Structure 1
Amino acid sequence: MSGSVTVMPPWAYHAFISYSHARDLPVAAALQRDLRRFAVPWFRHRTAPLTDRPGPPHRPLRIFRDVTDLSAAPELWPTIEAALASARWFVLIASPGSAASVWVRREIEWWLANRGPDRMLIAVTGGQVVWGDGDFDWAATDALPREPLAGVFEHEPHWIDLRTLREELGDAVADFAAPIRGVAKDTIVGDHLRQRTRARWTLRGAVALLTAAVLATTTAAVIATRQRAIAVDQRNTAVANQLVGESQAVQDSQPGLARQLLAAAYRLKATPQVTGALAAGAAIPQELRVAADRFAFRADGRVLATVGATLRLYDPATLELLAEKPLDGKQVSAAVFGPAPGHLLAVADGTDVLLLDVRDPRAPIEAGRLVGGDELMLAAAFTPDGKRITTADRGGNIQEWNIADPALPVSLGTMPFRKRFARYQLQHQPGGKVAAMAPILLRKPTPPINDELAANISVNPTLLVLLDERDPSRVLPSAVKETDAIYTFAYAPDGRHLVTAGRGAVRLWTASAGGALSAPVTLPVADPAIRVRHIAYGPGGRIAAVGDDGTVSCWDVSGSQPVLTAQFRATPADGKYVLADELPNDGPDEDWSAAEVESPWNPLDLGFSPDGSRFALLTPGGNAEAETVAPPNTLRIYSTLDTRQLGARSVLPGRAVAGPDGTRTVTADEKTIRLWDTTDPLNPRELGSVAAPDTVQGVAFAPDGRSLAAYFEQEVWAFSVDPAGPMREVARWQLVDGQKSCPMPGYEKLGCLIQASAVTFLDRGTVAVGDLTGQVSIFALDHPDGALATVPVTVGSLSHLAPLAAGNSRLLLVAGQGGLVEIWDFTDPAHAGERGRLPGGDSPTWDAAVSPDGRTVAVVRRDGTATVWRVTGGGTNMHRIADLTDTGSLTAVALTPAGDRVAVLGRDRTLAVYRLGDDTATVELLLPVDASAEATASLSFAGGVLSLATAHGTTVVWQLNPAANARALCVGAGPPMTATQWARVAPGLPFHPPCT
């Protein structure tokens, strides 16, 4: 014990409460509160004096508890020791937490050493207290500390059990109040009841007098409050929806502000329009204001570098600034990471190239320097093995360096072009033996102008030059002829293709390992008049290009034909153009048109992240309306998980079907079935795959998640899904013509093909398959020889099958394209029969959904109606919850696993999510789907997300949690919104920065 002891008056407290803060803080507070005033008249407030004279209570007790009674003492224990010394009783709140507490043990030790056990009271709030032979049974007792209580009590002490009471102690307080006040328990309980009765009658009299006076005022206030609340709610609804529109208007020019406007809208009110915009918020690019001219992603995708006068390193996932390192402050013309492991960053800084080691992104270091001549370095490119680097300067010097030891770079030779360049694009073919160049010559107007201005107006196309890496002085022949003069080019990450952008078109070339180019394919463009001067090639067949007007075009070239998947604008806030008539006259040898003279909208840099999930674009300028001084340039980071659905938060290949608990998902992509861990649905992890015998047209999970069924045309397969091993085929069946409906009259020469159209599991071992002839075939996993039964149904061509909750029966919902929806009993497949039909009209049924527990059913039809039922009575009763209507046909429907929400997709490509009550359906989200997605795509809920399986071969996922979406929007939200900007969009409303 050290330090001075706080001096308190003797007997300052009636009792000292010792307890564990981690577990028993609520019950300690309740005991202090109730013990102070137990049996005390309501009008008594002065604390009772401490005397040794027993008697009826009249005033509140003094009870010490450290949270309420400790002052700002320089040391904690002296103050507690002083309180113990001035207390008459010790109340121990016993639990496993207090038994393990060092402070509680120390307080008990002091009390036993200075007071003894006679004035110790025990209240048990958790664990066990067991008395043995002359002491506590310490093998069973865990609510008391063995040290120092072992052997202290000669007889079993009285303890009070509060384990079921916690914060509402009631009359159990009498067990503590009686000994502390020195009166019998019966006496103090009687006093307490009398005081409570007296207080109740006093209160009733006061209430009776006040009620009449207050009633009229209260009624008027309630009405006024309700009207005001309604008015505020209507105002918030209108302003929140208006902010959604404002966000859409500025997301091209000020994406960070657009993100903040949506976050602000959510603060006001989560209307269906707001929650839908939040779900699709990933379509708005992130905005990062940077004092930089170039950027680059590290090869593993975990570091984003921006380079200017200062090197800054960011975490791409959170945009957290990891490190800053001042550079030489010269003009930066290029920044590029080396190939994997990719920790070396080359920066063309002035006349040199810096080599920076960013293995540790929080502590970058300079690893070496390639010293150039007097000309500005324009380009740097690593060889595929990362051991060499090629540089190019404005004077036309192409130099090769060995950087096996970055600290001691070795020049391997220089190849002078004897020309001066405005810009220089340089890239080594990944996996090949070629270095490709696109040097743009520096213009020479008369009278002469400085190099920087001359470079800005030098925009004419050039030739693609291919060099043999083994002999850089050797120029290889190129299929890109003079007539195909280009502005830019980029190799695919695997080196097998090259994309070029020239005067006439954007073309995709096949590239051999030796560098030869062949079989050019022209990529589709929305407007051929827009020239493309900047282009990037990412993994997975992603290509992005920026046109003169700031239009960003995205292509998917992974399939047999390239597809233009998306276009969006990257409008600069303060972009500048140079007009032809502002330029000096050319000399007599110059030949360039006015169209070539006009300076384009000129991005500083662009590129994909290594995994292709993001595309970044660095542009000059920023938000001209910002009130604060900000860095001069803007880095926009677009989500390119699926460029047809830019708002997707996750993407899976193929059509996805969620498992029964949502933690596993299966996707079917052509002939490959993949199993995914979707415990975190926004970050799926592939568990394994299996090759299907043919193209998969439909797939279903068994209720226990351990089997899959899939089909193609007339063939049905079953696969085991064993978490401990790979998926494998366990059965294969053929559909048969049980109705003798083939061949169709008049089409005998075409033969007969029974095409499956729906599949589900009746139970974990029984599969039901519907087909276009209107029959349901039942198969058993343990019966691989064929169908147990083939049952004709009356709904016609089948579109959907799903099991219903039916106790011991096996009921199946059967929906047909003709409009009928029936319930069939397949308990005995050989004697299956129709149990009933759902009303709904004659309009064709597009889709049906049943919740995983089989208790909620939803059907959507071509006439724009959706009907939702609850299944009761073991499947015998269908209670109609709601009818939903839309202006156009509804094409897809999904239910949450709990059956409390339903999502429908309209042909106008709007997703609507409704919350279901007992007899109501309330819309809570409206989400426009990109027009490039097929309106007949399928929907599913799992793990708090909504999935859309589209016809273009992917399943995209949206996060439905609006709070999480609002937080995600605040990552990469650019400069904070200003009060002036807020007053413009929400005049009269108080301003609170939405992302703080």
Structure 2
Amino acid sequence: MGDGNAAERPYRNDAFISYHHASDSAKAAHLRRGLQNFARSWRQLRALRVFLDKDSLSANPGLWPEIERQLADSGAFILLACPGSADSVWVQKEAEWWRTGLGPRKMLIAVTGGELVWDHERGDFDWERTTCLPRTMAGMFTDEPRWVDLRWMSEDDPGSLRDPRFQQCVADLAAPLHGRPKEDLIGADVAQHRKTRRLARGALAVITTLAVLAGAASVVAVLQRDEARRQARLATSRQLAATALNLKDGNLRLASLLGIEAYRMQKSPEAIATLNRLATDSPYLVRMVSSAKPISTLAFSGDDTAVAVGDEGGAVTVWSSDGRAVRARTELPGRITAAGFSEDGKRLAVGDGKGNLGVYDLAGRKLRRLAPMPKAVSSLEFSMGGNLAVADEDGTVTLYEQAREKFRSKRTGHIGSLVVFQNEESYLLVRDAVGGGALYTVPDLRTVMDDQTFKLPANQAAVAVSAGGHCFGYLKYGIFTSTGLPKAKGREALADTCGKFPMLPNEEALMLALTDGSRMAVGTASGITVVDGEADGEEDGETDGEPNQVRKLTGVGRPTLLKFSATGGRLASAHGRTAALWNLGQASRTAHTHGLSLVDMQNMIVAPPLATGPGGRIAWSNRLESELDSDPPKDLHVWSPKGGTAVGGDALYYECVAFGGDGRTLYAGTNGEIQEWRIVGKRLEKRRTIALSGSREGFHAATREIAPLGAGALAVTTGDGAVHLADPSARRTRIVVPPSSADPHRPRLASLSADGRAAAVENAEGGVDIHTLPTGRKVQTARLPDEAVGSFALAADGRSLFLDGTERAFARWDLDERRLRWRSDEPNGARVAVSKDGRTVATLTDGGTLTRWDVDTGDRLGGPEIPIPPRTLSGNGGIGEHTGFVVDDAGTLWTATEGGEVLSWDFSVDSWIEGLCRIAGGHGLTDAEWRRYVGTTPPSRPTCD
């Protein structure tokens, strides 16, 4: 009677279910599914077709006629009996229709609630006790009808279709519908169920096998795809990194953006090293700023805090001298040809190629136009009193009183003139573009001296005059010549501050800039060279600082403009639409100064010992420049960003320093003892002294390293290779690793883990012995193949040892696996420092090169050069031998150089990217640059966002 034999069925529906919607909707649907699936062959869609109005009846405006049609086309009537159905008009109507039709034949009852009681004597239901049937069914049955009890079911949760109780009830109802005995039907259902399960398991096994094969193939395909993409990204990253390094000397802006994109493509050691190289090259470059049109004019304010950039489109932008902020914008109709700030920096005068003049009030942000010049403005300058002198290309010089009204004008005849006030504005110096000049009184412009003897050489000499007008000269064939200054009869000559400059390499000079303080900048086809000369009249070697220091400023192309600030400490250059801002007092773009200048106080090689503590504290042993003449001298210092500097100490020199765990205690080691100091405000108070046991004289007694163990206990190493322990209240240490018996004239190296639980000590065979503390027991020996260990450092957790060889190797020794994890065969010759978390490892060469290493792979990630200090180093050795260095908990590198200063360094990729984006002006690659160098569709995000 199932769907498989539909053609043999006399009725379309095998059964019709009548029920009370409010009481038995879920039970009716559950029973319908049970009848459809009971004893169903796997080839059948359903075993029985059962009508249920909620699921089978389509929307129909004539509801009862449709119900009648379904009743007439049903072979059996199943009533879900409950008190609700007994009172239901629809159930009564459907039961009455069935009674008048087929009668009680093929009417099956399933009791879901209430009571059903048969009265055998009367041959009818006991209507006094029966509560689940409609009264209209009275007298319908002469014999007790077949019925099943479903009162155990819940309307909210009817249960499982395979529940044995439910299966028995379904079998009772399905047997007359199928026309088969209940036992046979149950057996057929079990057999069909087993067969279906076997088929399902078989199908599932086949599907699973196919899925596994397809999944494996998919995984392989995905892995191959991902690997291909990774290799493509890596190749593109390496190409961009190589291109960036090729471009860095001439176009650091583009190189920086390419380097950042190389890193984003693949965070490889090569990309990281490229970022570091870009971040540390050209240390004097502060920022690049751009303009909409090619730049035509540059001017600094008198206090060096602002720079004006004018372009050929008539726009003028005033930037802060670090390029981080725009302070003002204004414009004139023509190409900007001259600009200058007032003495107080509150006004900016600008002139253009059409003779227009304007004075911009930076506070009020308003431009006031002045009476124009006859021809294009060639030069202008404010006097100290606020007057303005302007010269045009025909040699007309005009004075504007208080930069407002024109009150004097004179045609000087000096073509392309440059004007400079002299002697606090009592004179006006006018220089000719081809040589010579004149000196005029102010304000009447009377000629005091007109000298045409200072002719410039022919054929491309680079000419310049300083901002104060005290240095005028030219550069040709690498030789600078001062033309002198006009001297009036009976008057003292103006001071010539050009000084002495060395001969430069014979490279064609395209541009020249001079200062009043004996400094020169030369623009060539390959970049910019800055030369610090000797002040005129002083002998070589007798000047302050470095005489004749020559610095190459890289990262920009051929300059079209060069302009010094009034003090000579800053320089601006222009190339096309980009202006580069330089700070010649900046030693590095990745270093931060903290105003901590150290004296050169020794006549031997000394690296100031350093230690870092909580809250950004840094401690060192070396006198500050400001304390050079202090009495008594104090050589211990603790500095913090918020608390300033605390000072103390009573020894001539300390070999090592270390913070206690609380950050308020400082331990300092010197020959034969350890001192404990407490940080109290701006001073250090000495608490106790711990003598070193068995100490000898000289380097043997020197304290090399201190590791606080907590509660005042210490681990200490000394120059003879011994390891000491000191209890919290001890006045003397005890030796747990005895001193080396090797060459008594040579110090031995040793290193402690930050927690003081392990010690590494150099042995006589060139290896390193590892000892556990506090027992001092030797547990293993680390070695470098084919060479001796020159320096080393233990990681904080005592699980890694970083070894630097005496020849070329730098390696990581794994103390757990007792083997080398990696070895880098690159010339190094360095000392080693490790952060407490062991994730930052740095080396410092004698020449002052700092290098960060990848702790997992051993790749060299690069690093900066320690700046040469302004004060001459005493003794021998390179800058690195006079520098102490340490890595703090945050991975920040700190250095201290005697004669130099205490510096903190940006030593992370994020800080490098931030600095490079600052250099690039905060923008990204243009679409054209992206397509040219990357070769794909430009992304929507900028490189620097």
2:658–2:668 CA contact under 8 A, matched in 1: no
- In structure 2, how many angstroms separate the alpha carbons of the residues matched to 1:277 and 1:766? 44
Question: Is 2:188 the counterpart of 1:239?
Answer: no
2:573 paired with 1:617:
yes
SS at match of 1:922: coil
Q: Give the conservation status (yes or no) of the 8 Å contact 1:674–1:687.
A: no
Instruction: Check 1:336–1:861 CA distance in 2 against 1; reply closer, same or farther (3 A cut).
Output: farther
1:267 equivalent to 2:202? Answer no
**Whole-angstrom distance in 2 between the partners of 1:718 and 1:472:** 73
What is the rounded CA distance, in whole Å, between the counterparts of 2:818 and 2:715 in structure 1? 25
1:550-578 residue CA offsets vs partner (Å, 9 max, x unmatched): 53124678963236464144664xxxxxx
Q: Is the contact between residue 707 and residue 715 of structure 2 (CA under 8 Å) also seen in structure 1?
A: yes
What corresponds to 1:288 in structure 2? Answer: 290
User: 1:706 is matched by which residue type in structure 2?
Assistant: R
Corresponding position: 1:344 with 2:347: yes
Equivalent position of 2:310 in the other structure: 307
* Secondary structure of 1:211's aligned partner: helix
2:418 aligns with 424
Deviation at residue 507 of structure 1 after TM alignment = 10
Q: Would you say the 8 A contact 1:525–1:564 is kept in 2? A: no
Deviations, residues 104-124 of structure 1 (Å, cap 9, x unaligned)? xxxxxxxxxxxxxxxxxxxxx
2:522 corresponding residue in structure 1? 546
- What is the alpha-carbon distance in structure 2 between the residues aligned to residue 897 and residue 754 of structure 1? 27
**1:953 alignment partner AA:** G
1:926 to 853, 861, 880: 861
CA contact (8 A) 1:387 1:402 kept: yes
1: CA distance between counterparts of 2:565 and 2:507?
25
Are 2:806 and 1:862 equivalent residues in the alignment?
Answer: yes
Q: Which residue of 2 aligns with 1:748?
A: none
1:359 is matched with which residue: 353, 356, 363?
363
Structure 1 position 705 matched with structure 2 position 663? yes
With over 3 angstroms needed to count, the CA separation of the structure-2 counterparts of 1:741 and 1:641, relative to structure 1, is same
Kept in 2: contact 1:671–1:696 (CA 8 A): no
Structure 2 unaligned residues grouped into runs of 5+: 1-20, 30-151, 164-192, 483-491, 534-542, 598-607, 626-635, 869-878
Query: For 1:641 and 1:380, how far apart are their aligned partners in 2?
Result: 28
Cα separation, 1, equivalents of 2:616 and 2:926: 43
| In structure 2, C-alpha distance between the alignment counterparts of 1:305 and 1:435, rounded to whole Å | 27
**Aligned residue for 1:839?**
782
Counterpart residue identity of residue 346, structure 1:
A
Cα pair distance change 1:951/1:965, threshold 3 Å: same
Q: Normalised by the size of structure 1, how large is the TM-score? A: 0.55
1:636 equivalent among 566, 577, 580: 580
SS of match in other structure, 2:309:
strand
Partner residue of 1:212? Answer: 209
CA contact (8 A) 2:417 2:430 kept: yes
Q: Aligned residue for 1:882?
A: 821
322 and 397 in structure 1: CA distance in 2 versus 1, 3 angstrom threshold: closer
Residues 257/333 of structure 1: CA separation in 2 closer, same or farther (3 Å cut): same
Structure 2: how far apart are the matches of 1:339 and 1:192?
96
Q: Kindly tell me: are residues 906 and 343 of structure 1, through their superposed partners in 2, closer, same or farther at Cα, counting changes over 3 Å?
A: same
**Conserved? CA contact 1:273–1:927, under 8 Å:** no
Contact 2:332 2:356 in 1 (8 A): no
Asked if the contact 2:236–2:262 (Cα under 8 Å) also holds between the matched residues in 1, the reply is yes
Once the two structures are TM-superposed, the CA of residue 891 in structure 1 deviates from its matched residue by 0.7
User: Is 2:682 the partner of 1:726?
Assistant: yes
The one-character-per-residue Cα deviations of 1:644-682 (angstroms, maximum 9, x if unpaired) are x5565778766794623472335677634776556xxxx
Query: Are the aligned partners of 2:391 and 2:417 in contact in 1 as well (CA < 8 Å)?
Result: no
Correspondence list, 1:222-621, <5 A: 222-282=219-279, 283=281, 286=288, 288-291=290-293, 292-296=295-299, 305-308=308-311, 309-314=314-319, 324-325=329-330, 327-338=331-342, 342-349=345-352, 351=355, 354-359=358-363, 364-366=365-367, 368=368, 371=371, 374=374, 376-382=376-382, 391-392=390-391, 394=393, 403=402, 418-424=412-418, 426=420, 440-442=431-433, 458=434, 487-488=463-464, 490=466, 502=475, 505=479, 522=500, 527=505, 531=509, 533-535=511-513, 545-554=521-530, 560-562=545-547, 564=549, 566-569=551-554, 572=557, 603-607=560-564, 615-619=571-575, 621=576
For the residue of structure 2 that corresponds to 1:248, the secondary structure is helix
Verify the 8 A CA contact 1:434 1:515 in the aligned structure 2: no
Which range moves more in the overlay, 218-227 or 497-506?
497-506
Rate the CA distance shift 1:483–1:396 in 2: closer, same or farther, 3 A. closer
Q: Which residue of 2 aligns with 1:804?
A: 753
- Amino acid of the structure 2 residue aligned with 1:889: N
**Secondary structure, in 3 states, of the residue corresponding to 1:262?**
helix
Deviation at 1:277, TM superposition (A): 1.9
Structure 2 residue aligned with 1:848, among 792, 801, 807? 792
Which is greater in Rg? Answer: 2
Structure 1: distance between partners of 2:623 and 2:832: 24
Offset of residue 420 of structure 1? 0.6
Query: Per the alignment, do residues 716 and 436 of structure 1 end up closer, same or farther by CA in structure 2, a change over 3 Å counting?
Result: farther
Match of 1:992 among 929, 936, 939: 939
Q: CA RMSD in A?
A: 6.1
Who is 1:892 aligned against? 831
Residues 775 and 792, structure 1, Cα contact 8 Å, conserved in 2:
yes
2:897 is the alignment partner of 1:941: no
CA 1:931–1:505 in 2, change beyond 3 Å: closer, same or farther?
A: farther
1:137-160: per-residue Cα shift (whole Å, max 9, x none)? xxxxxxxxxxxxxxxxxxxxxxxx
- Three-state SS of the structure 2 residue aligned to 1:293 is strand
Query: Deviation of residue 898 (structure 1)?
Result: 1.4
Task: Give the residue type in structure 2 aligned to 1:617.
Answer: S
3-state DSSP of counterpart to 1:793: coil
Equivalent positions of 1:905-920 (< 5 A) are 913-916=852-855
* 2:377 and 2:390 in contact (8 A); partners too: yes
Distance of aligned partners of 1:803 and 1:230 in 2 relative to their CA distance in 1, 3 Å threshold: same
Instruction: Indicate how the Cα distance of structure 1 residues 296 and 225 shifts in structure 2: closer, same or farther if over 3 A, else same.
Output: same
Identity %: 19
Tell me the SS of whatever aligns to 2:242.
Answer: helix
Contact 1:280 1:958 (8 Å CA) reproduced: no
Structure 2 CA distance for partners of 1:550 and 1:214, relative to 1, 3 Å: same
Cα distance in structure 2, aligned partners of 1:323 and 1:519: 34
- In structure 1, what is the equivalent of residue 600 of structure 2? none
Once the two structures are superposed, residues 817-862 of structure 1 have per-residue CA deviations (whole angstroms, 9 ceiling, x without a partner) of 99564567997xxxx9786774325956544334456665423222
Once residues 28 and 515 of structure 2 are traced to their aligned partners in structure 1, the CA distance between those partners, rounded to angstroms, is 85
Matches of 2:498 and 2:701 in 1, distance apart? Answer: 40
Q: How many residues align?
A: 700
Summarize the Cα distance change of 1:279–1:187 in structure 2 as closer, same or farther, 3 Å threshold: farther
Cα distance change on mapping 1:534 and 1:664 into 2, 3 Å:
farther
